[in-house]
Structures are given as C-alpha cells and as structure tokens.
Amino acid sequence: MKASKVAYKPVGLALGAVSSAVAIAVFKQVWKVLGHDDGAPDATDRDRSWPEILVAATLQGAIFAGVKAAVDRGGASTVHRLTGAWTG
C-alpha cells in the first residue's frame, strides 16, 4: 500500500463521519420540504405505505451517495493540493 493511502486513511475516516452527519441533515431538510415529518419511515412501520417507504429509502440513499462522493472528492483534492499525491 502506498504511503499516501496510509496517510490518508485517518483523514478518510474523519471525512466519512462528517459526510454521514451532513447527509443526515440534508435528508431531514429535503424530507420536510416534501411535506413529511422529521424522520424517514422505518421499513417495518405498518402505518406507512409502500410508496412512502420506498421513496424515502431511495431519496436517502441518493443523498448519502452524493454527499459521500462530494466529501471524498473534496478530501482527495485537498490532500493532492497540499501534498502533490493523489490518494486513489
């Protein structure tokens, strides 16, 4: 394993935690704007419909993936700018 990958590992872990927190906050806001309550429905909540559960899960997954990609790319770009080494 390259030294740059090893050095980036703790940064990547910290960025992962940050991206999760950001994604949760973004999803909550989007879910509110769509006119739903604060939290996404649980898949086993019998008071929620199939479409509501599936839309919430799909939206949440897309937001998490998008935020993670943006944070990972930003972290890699920053490390590259600071060290000259690409982490990937």
For residue range 38-56, list pLDDT tens digits in order: 678 889 999 889 999 999 9
pLDDT of 3 reads: 64
Q: How confident is the model over 56-73, as pLDDT tens digits?
A: 999 999 999 999 999 988
- Nearest alpha carbon to residue 27 among 69, 49, 47, 55: 55
pLDDT grade, residue 37 (50/70/90)?
confident
Spans of all domains in the chain: 3-83
Q: What is the DSSP letter of 84?
A: S
The phi-psi region of residue 62 (left if phi > 0; otherwise alpha if psi is between -120 and 50; otherwise beta) is alpha
Given a cut of 60, whether residue 1 has pLDDT beyond it is: no
What mean pLDDT, rounded, does the chain reach? 86
pLDDT of 4 reads: 64
